[in-house]
C-alpha cells in the first residue's frame, strides 16, 4: 500500500496526472494482475491497459512494460526485507549495520535475478536466510501465507511499471 501511495505521488507530481483518474482507468486491470500473481503473465494485460485505457503510445509501453516486469521488483524487495528481518528476530539473530547493508545489497541482486512468476521469493528467501544464519526451515512460517502476499507483490510491481510508463509518456508527450 505504501508503494501504491508513492507511485500515485510520482504520477501526480512528475507526470501531472490525477492519480485517482489513473487508478480508475487501471483498476480493473490491477484486479486481474492481482489474481495472476505473476509480473510476466501480466505483461499483455498491462500493455493492453496502456493502449486502450490510458492512451499511451505503443512505442513507449512496448519497451517499458516488459522492462519493468524484468527489473522492477519492488514488491519482492519489500517482502524479502520484512520476511528476512522478521524471521531473524524470531530466531534471535542480532545484526549490525554492515550486515544490514549486506542484506540490502543481496536483496537488490536477488530481485533483479528472480523471474516474475509465483513463488520465486521463497527461493530468494532461502538464500537470504542462509546468509544471515537463520535456519532455512524458518521458511515454513512464511509458506502458508505467501500466496496472498504474492498477489500484493505482483500488484505493486505492475502498478509501478504502469506508473513509470505514464510519467515518461507525459514528460515525452507520448
Nearest to 160 by CA among 2, 7, 1, 5: 7
Q: What is the pLDDT of residue 117?
A: 76
Q: What distance in Å separates the CA atoms of residue 167 and residue 19, rounded to the nearest whole number? A: 11
Q: What is the pLDDT of residue 38?
A: 83
Q: What is the pLDDT of residue 108?
A: 86
165 touches 61 (CB < 8 A): yes
Q: What is the pLDDT of residue 91?
A: 93
- The stretches of the chain forming alpha helices (DSSP H) are 2-13, 19-36, 43-48, 58-71, 74-90, 97-113, 120-131, 140-172
Q: What is the pLDDT of residue 168?
A: 92
- Mean pLDDT by runs of 10 across the 174 residues of the chain is 90 90 89 86 90 90 87 80 91 90 89 77 88 90 87 87 91 82
Q: 62-75, pLDDT tens digit by residue?
A: 999 988 887 777 77
Q: What is the pLDDT of residue 48?
A: 92
Neighbour-count burial of 160, counting CB atoms closer than 10 A to its CB (0-12 exposed, 13-18 middle, 19+ buried):
buried
Q: What distance in Å separates the CA atoms of residue 95 and residue 132, rounded to the nearest whole number? A: 8
pTM of the model: 0.82
Q: What is the pLDDT of residue 87?
A: 93
Q: What is the pLDDT of residue 156?
A: 86
Q: What distance in Å separates the CA atoms of residue 94 and residue 90, rounded to the nearest whole number? A: 10
Q: What is the pLDDT of residue 121?
A: 82
Q: What is the pLDDT of residue 90?
A: 93
Q: What are phi and psi of 72, to 5 degrees?
A: -90, 90
Grid cell of 47 as nine digits: 500493455
Amino acid at each position: 500500500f505504501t508503494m501504491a501511495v508513492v507511485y500515485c505521488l510520482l504520477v501526480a507530481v512528475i507526470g501531472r496526472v490525477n492519480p485517482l483518474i489513473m487508478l480508475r482507468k487501471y483498476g480493473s486491470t490491477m484486479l486481474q494482475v492481482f489474481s495472476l500473481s505473476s509480473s510476466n503473465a501480466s505483461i499483455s494485460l498491462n500493455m493492453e491497459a496502456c493502449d486502450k485505457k490510458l492512451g499511451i503510445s505503443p512505442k513507449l509501453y512496448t519497451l517499458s512494460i516488459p522492462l519493468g516486469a524484468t527489473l522492477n521488483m519492488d514488491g519482492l524487495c519489500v517482502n524479502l526485507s520484512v520476511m528476512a528481518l522478521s524471521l531473524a528476530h524470531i530466531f534471535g539473530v542480532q545484526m549490525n549495520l554492515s550486515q544490514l547493508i549486506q542484506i540490502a545489497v543481496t536483496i537488490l541482486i536477488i530481485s533483479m535475478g528472480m523471474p516474475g512468476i509465483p513463488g520465486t521469493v521463497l527461493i530468494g528467501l532461502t538464500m537470504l536466510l542462509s546468509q544471515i544464519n537463520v535456519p532455512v526451515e524458518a521458511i515454513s512460517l512464511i509458506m502458508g501465507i505467501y500466496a496472498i502476499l504474492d498477489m500484493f507483490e505482483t500488484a505493486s510491481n505492475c502498478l509501478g511499471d504502469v506508473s513509470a510508463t505514464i510519467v515518461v509518456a507525459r514528460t515525452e508527450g507520448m
